[in-house]
Amino acid sequence: MTKKTQRQPIGAFPLATAETNAIMMGAPFVIASRMSQFWMSMLSTRPQDQFDATDMVSEKMIAAQQSIVAMNVAGMEAAMDAATAMMSGKAAKDPTDAILAAGLKPYSSKVKANRKRFQKS
């Protein structure tokens, strides 16, 4: 007999959904601002106007590292919670939302910071 997998209802991961929404709402503005800044810097000959494209790559690498660490920490916390729940005879909480939200948080915070920065300029 095969076990049927249950699907999570929409909105079952409120923390991860909030981080995903922050990325979805801010990313198009940041991408458009970055691309216009990139193309305008190509037209300029002044060194201070030159757009450093490595910033785009390096901040994503840093966010990926932060995401990996945050997901590992959230996973360890979930394992400790599960062990504690098992020893006390209680049911353990589903750690999926906390782990997903921890992984998305560095990206959403970068998108929010970039959006604020580009709105000022």
Q: How far is CA 115 from CA 17, 30, 33, 96, in A?
A: 19, 6, 9, 28
Q: Report yes or no: 103 and 67 within 8 Å, Cβ to Cβ.
A: yes
Say whether pLDDT at 99 is over 80: yes
CA distance 52 to 37: 10
pLDDT at 50: 63
Total-model pTM: 0.75
Residue at token pair 């910071």: 113
Instruction: Return the structure tokens found at 91.
Output: 């049911």
What is the per-residue pLDDT across 57-76, written as a single tens digit (0 to 9) for each? 888 899 999 999 999 999 99
